[in-house]
Amino acid sequence: FLGEQCCTMKILTLLSLLATHLSASSVNIEENAGQFFSSGHTNNWAVLVCTSRFWFNYRHVANTLSVYRSVKRLGIPDSHIVLMLADDMACNHRNPKPATVFSHKNMELNVYGDDVEVDYRGYEVTVENFLRVLTGRLPPSTPRSKRLLSDDRSNILIYLTGHGGNGFLKFQDSEEISNVELADAFEQMWQKRRYNELLFIIDTCQGASMYERFYSPNLMALASSQVGEDSLSHQPDLAIGVHLMDRYTFYLLEFLEDIHPSSKANMNDLFKVCPKSQCVSTPGHRTDLFLRDPGSALITDFFGSVRKVEITMETINLTEPIQQVDGSVSDGSSVVPPGVHR
């Protein structure tokens, strides 16, 4: 008699569990659908700029190439990366290991590799070219690889490194870009609907001064040091004879090496990269212009080009407006399923 009751109990428990699971998963699908359209971007671009030349600024080129490597690894293709390097370190006569740029002591990590595509090289890296790339005002003869062909659904990562000061960044030892110019360029981009969200990272001395003047929406900025602080280099390599990387980008690279395309790490983790104990300078960030909560912005929203794929057997009703995770409602008419990009 007890055995039969046991069996029945077991079956009932199993059935109830199954029912709960099914109802729960159906609720999850609805939630996931909400998360699906949370970021609102459909394609990713990256503009990576190294502004200094000369052999002793090896580390700036290594910085830029490290970010390039991470960005490519996480899925952004070369056609969507504008890479600007002001000098050629790999083929510099003083390089004891020609055709390499190392970002790690003892030559553990060669970031130059064999598939680096530099779009603006040498003297082409100027303030004018940089601003034209950002705003899209390029002469008609400019090849596609040198253009930033972003639209209002693009998330753009902009990374700048070099020598900077309070309110300016030095290009090529002969000119400067000021924080006002940069802020105005971003405003032009906003008004021309050239970005959906923009992440701006700068690794220079007094880098925080460069994002002080931003006033356009949907901008998030990170800098390696505050005003009045110098950003320091990380490690010298005695065989090559130069400093290989700057501290902030070194720890950024370390952090990014752990990110894979399906990682759910978000911007709050990025803000914790390189605390003062490791960086000596105090990294700063600015999120007041960013409309989403930084905790809901994934690293891969900017650093990767991720196709969001979720396999489900359920039917989801898309005719009603989808509640976005952070509460704002997206208009059904402008919802474009991921995977379609212009």
Partner 1 sequence: MGLLSDPNRRRALISLLTRLNAPICVVCYMAGVAWFMGLAFEPFTLRTYMSENAMGSTMVEERFPAGERALGTGREFSAHKKKAGGMPVDWLVKTMQSRGLEVFTQRFSRRLPFPDEDKERYMVKGTNVYGILRAPRAPRTEALVLSAPCSPGDDNNQAVGVLLGLAQYFRNQVFWAKDIIFLVNEHDLIGMQAWLEGYHHTNTTGMDWSPLQGRGGSIQAALSLELSSDVVTSLDLVLEGLNGQLPNLDLANLFYAFCQKIGVLCTTQGKLQRNDWDSVSGYSHAVQTMMLMVMKQASGRPWGDHGLFLRYHIEAATIKGINSFRQYKTDATTIGRLLEGMYRKLNNLLERLHQSYFFYLMPSLSHFVSIGYYMPAFGLLALILLLRVSFQPRLLTTYLLTDGVPGVLSVLTPLVISHLTGVALYTLPIHFQEIAVEHFPVSETEAVVLTAIAVYTAGLALPHNTHRLLTGRGTENGWKVLKLVAVLYLAVLLGCTALINFSLGFILALTLVPVAAFVTPDVPKALSAFIMVILSPACTLLFSVFLFQELQEMPVSFLDGWMLYLSVISQGILDHALYGSLVYPLVALLVYPCWLLFWNILFWK
Q: Which residues bind partner 1 (CB under 8 A)?
A: 54-56, 91-96, 98, 236, 238-239, 241-243
Report which secondary-structure segment, H or E, holds 220.
Answer: strand 219-223
Residue nearer to partner 1 on the CB measure, 31 or 173: 173
Active-site residue, from 50, 205, 274, 279:
205
- Separation of alpha carbons 280 and 230, rounded Å: 9
Contact 116, 48 (CB under 8 A): no
> By C-beta, is 98 or 228 nearer to partner 1?
98
Q: To which H or E segment does residue 43 belong?
A: strand 43-50
Based on CB atoms, which residue is closest to partner 1, 163 or 192? 163
CB of 95 to partner 1, least distance (A): 6
Please, which residue, 241 or 337, has the CB nearer to partner 1?
Answer: 241
**164 or 283: CB nearest partner 1:** 164
Amino acid at 108: E
- 279 catalytic per annotation: no
**Please, what is the minimum distance in Å from the beta carbon of residue 62 to partner 1?**
15
Closest approach of partner 1 to the CB of residue 57, in Å: 9
Residues with Cβ within 8 Å of residue 179, at least 6 apart in sequence: 167, 168, 209, 210, 211, 212, 213
Asked if 341 is an active-site residue, the reply is no
Query: Which one, of 104, 36, 71, 109, lies nearest residue 339 by Cα?
Result: 36
CB of residue 247 to partner 1, shortest distance in Å? 16
Cα separation, 19 vs 24, in Å, equals: 8
Tell me the closest approach of the beta carbon of residue 110 to partner 1, in angstroms: 16
Among residues 78, 76, 71, 63, the alpha carbon closest in space to that of 109 is found at: 63
Question: What distances in angstroms separate CA 44 from CA 40, 175, 198, 199, 325, one per listed residue?
Answer: 11, 30, 10, 11, 21
Active site residues: 163, 205
